[in-house]
């Protein structure tokens, strides 16, 4: 994931790396002023209350759809500023530069999803290509993210997942447009020394997304990892799918790009499986997810010369496992195939301490207009609060730093 662009990195003072300590809040929040830290503490204290977050998120979605006045302003000044880089690439620049001062890279993600018109799809493609152009000029930004549901109708993806042969002529034509959009993005990345991560989505459209990611990896991952697919390890079939993807890449002569995540659609997946009467694709419990994730990490590390991987996780144990294996194997901490990434506005204790200890660390920076990224913000609030307890941990760490600073 480390940039391959021919630029001279800013000179940094050569000092010994501190020991990796995810509880070091002084390093984790060094980039925040006292005012910013207190605002973050206030926000996370509210988001720590599940009974408050769930109804407010639902009301917010309704208010956004109804375009109720002041809704966007309230969102912009609270959750948006915490979890989103900005409304445009230009607005993101101060945050990106601030991260890079701490040797933290940026993974750019235009937050469009679930679009339904050709005009919207082309706009998303053009925005992805603009992000690549931005990344080309900024070594702080070696990766952009694309979401297939921002480039194609969800109903089309569902149809293609069930049937890919003997398609009606109109479907074939629409499908060609989808492939052309995705190829334009990946081609631009390949030519400009940037990488593209294809986001994972719901299981009922994931097979066709995997297929498209494989096509692009085979096309562009011959000499370096340009395209990454995303593996959601809270699905019980994804560990084997990772193995299969690697074997396929080996047989067909390309490098595998693997972004490893736990997943973001658990409640939706379980609810749909129950409603439609099929076995849930989700792991039986959190321990099974953790075990699968850590096995996937170890597999990528064992094959790091042929797999460009990104540990995109907020789990401290998983990050420590990867860091320890890198050290035990004596691998260069800055090897471009070994990366860590956390969401902007969360888990600063992981990202900033990993970076301070010398590893490739990045923030996943979402950007877009308030109404475009609101579904993303709702997922951050609902799922992290209800499922993994991230908000409690975030609040505790921020409070610890507030106490340390005596503010």
At 70, give phi and psi (nearest 5°). 75, -10
Euclidean distance between CA atoms 198 and 21, whole angstroms: 31
Q: Residue 387 above 50 pLDDT? A: no
Q: What is the model's pLDDT at position 116? A: 81
Report the pLDDT value the prediction gives residue 6, as an integer from 0 to 100.
Answer: 42
Pairing of strands 361-367, 256-261: unpaired
d(CA 166, CA 272): 28
**Residue carrying structure tokens 């926000």:** 43
Environment class of residue 99 by beta-carbon count within 10 Å: exposed (0-12), middle (13-18) or buried (19+)?
buried
Closest CA to 128 of 79, 208, 199: 199
Q: Is the pLDDT of residue 101 over 80?
A: yes
The reported pLDDT for the residue numbered 8 is 38
* 88-367 classified as CATH 3.20.20.220: yes
Count Cα atoms within 13 angstroms, Cβ side, for 353: 18
Burial of 208 (0-12, 13-18, 19+ CB in 10 A): buried
Whether 52 has a pLDDT exceeding 50, the answer reads: yes
pLDDT class of 386 with cuts at 50, 70, 90: very low
pLDDT for 170: 96
**Per-chain mean pLDDT for the chain:** 90
Residue 199 in 3-state DSSP?
coil
**How large is the average pLDDT for residues 370-396?**
71
Gap between the Cα atoms of 258 and 230, Å rounded: 6
Please tell me the number of Cα atoms within 13 Å of 110 on its side-chain side.
Answer: 29
Per-residue pLDDT at 242 exceeds 70:
yes
Work out the pLDDT band at 50, boundaries 50, 70, 90.
low
Do 131 and 162 touch, CB atoms closer than 8 A? no
Question: Judging by DSSP bridges, how do beta strands 195-198 and 84-86 pair with one another?
Answer: unpaired
pLDDT band at 278 (very low <50, low <70, confident <90, very high): very high
Q: Are residues 342 and 312 in contact, defined by beta-carbon separation less than 8 angstroms? A: yes
- Give exposure, 162-192, as e/b (b: 16+ Cβ within 10 Å): eeeeeeeeeeeebbebbeebbbbbbbbbbeb
**Nearest CA among 397, 388, 386 for reference residue 52:** 386
CB atoms within 10 A of CB 130: 16
pLDDT at 14 over 90: no
For 219-237, write each residue's pLDDT tens digit.
999 999 999 999 999 999 9
Would the pLDDT of 304 be above 50? yes
Query: What Rg, from alpha-carbon coordinates, does the chain have?
Result: 20
Q: How confident is the model at residue 7 (pLDDT cuts 50, 70, 90)?
A: very low
> Which has the minimum average pLDDT: 4-13, 253-262, 288-297?
4-13
- Asked if residue 263 has pLDDT above 60, the reply is yes
Q: Reduce the DSSP state of residue 181 to 3 states and report it.
A: helix
Mean pLDDT for the stretch of residues 167-173: 96
For range 229-249, the mean pLDDT: 98
**Angle at which helices 203-220 and 154-162 cross, to 10°:** 80
Q: Where are the domains of the chain?
A: 24-84+381-407, 88-367
pLDDT, position 62: 63
Rounded to 5°, angle at Cα 346 from 344 and 348: 95
Measured distance CA(244)–CA(335) in Å, rounded: 24
**pLDDT value at 10 more than 50:** no
Per the structure block, which two tokens stand in for 170? 């109109």
Residue 121: C-alpha distances to residues 21, 75, 118, 154, 245 (Å): 43, 25, 5, 12, 28
Whether residue 363 contacts residue 343, with contact meaning beta carbons closer than 8 Å, is answered with yes
CA distances from 175 to 123, 157, 159, 210, 383 (A): 17, 9, 11, 15, 32
Assess whether pLDDT exceeds 60 at residue 9.
no
Q: What is the pLDDT of residue 112?
A: 66
Q: Using alpha carbons only, what angle is made at residue 161 by residues 157 and 165, rounded to the nearest 5 degrees? A: 110
pLDDT digits (tens, 9 = 90+) for 309-349: 999 999 999 999 999 999 999 999 999 999 999 999 999 99
Q: Determine the straight-line distance between the first and last CA of the chain, rounded to whole angstroms.
A: 38
Q: What separation in angstroms does the CA of 305 have from each of 249, 252, 296, 298, 302?
A: 13, 16, 15, 13, 8
Q: Against a cut of 0.75, is the pTM above it?
A: yes
Tokens of 211: 């297929």
Checking if the pLDDT of 185 tops 80, the result is: yes
- pLDDT for 15 equals 66
What is d(CA 362, CA 365) in angstroms, rounded to the nearest whole number?
9
């Amino acid at each position: 994931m480390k940039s391959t662009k021919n630029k001279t990195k800013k000179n940094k003072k050569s000092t010994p790396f501190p020991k990796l300590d995810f509880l070091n809040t002084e390093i984790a929040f060094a980039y925040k002023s006292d005012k910013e830290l207190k605002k973050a503490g206030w926000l996370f204290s509210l988001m720590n209350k599940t009974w408050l977050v769930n109804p407010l998120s639902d009301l917010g979605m309704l208010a956004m759809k109804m375009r109720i006045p002041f809704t966007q302003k309230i969102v912009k000044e609270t959750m948006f500023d915490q979890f989103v880089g900005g409304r445009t690439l230009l607005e993101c620049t101060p945050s990106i530069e601030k991260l890079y001062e701490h040797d933290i890279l940026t993974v750019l993600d235009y937050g469009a999803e679930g679009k339904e018109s050709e005009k919207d799809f082309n706009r998303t493609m053009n925005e992805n290509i603009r992000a690549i152009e931005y990344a080309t000029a900024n070594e702080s930004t070696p990766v952009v993210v694309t979401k297939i549901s921002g480039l194609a109708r969800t109903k089309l993806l569902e149809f293609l997942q069930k049937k890919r042969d003997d398609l009606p002529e109109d479907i074939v034509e629409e499908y060609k447009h989808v492939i052309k959009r995705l190829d334009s993005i990946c081609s631009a990345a390949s030519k400009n020394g940037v990488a593209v991560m294809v986001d994972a989505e719901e299981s009922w459209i994931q097979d066709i997304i995997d297929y498209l990611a494989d096509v692009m990896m085979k096309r562009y991952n011959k000499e370096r990892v340009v395209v990454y697919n995303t593996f959601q390890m809270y699905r019980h079939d994804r560990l084997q799918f990772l193995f299969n993807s690697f074997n396929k890449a080996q047989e067909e002569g390309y490098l595998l790009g693997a972004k490893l995540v736990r997943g973001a659609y658990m409640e939706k997946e379980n609810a749909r499986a129950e409603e439609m009467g099929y076995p849930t694709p989700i792991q039986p419990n959190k321990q099974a997810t953790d075990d699968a994730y850590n096995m996937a990490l170890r597999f990528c590390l064992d094959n790091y010369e042929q797999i460009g991987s990104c540990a995109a996780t907020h789990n401290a144990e998983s990050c420590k496992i990867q860091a320890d294996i890198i050290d035990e194997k004596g691998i260069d901490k800055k090897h471009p195939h070994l990366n860590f990434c956390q969401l902007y506005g969360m888990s600063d204790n992981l990202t900033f301490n990993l970076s301070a200890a010398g590893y490739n660390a990045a923030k996943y920076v979402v950007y877009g207009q308030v109404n475009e990224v609101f579904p993303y913000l709702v997922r951050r609030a609902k799922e992290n609060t209800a499922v993994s307890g991230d908000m409690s941990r975030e609040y505790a760490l921020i409070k610890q730093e507030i106490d340390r600073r005596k503010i």
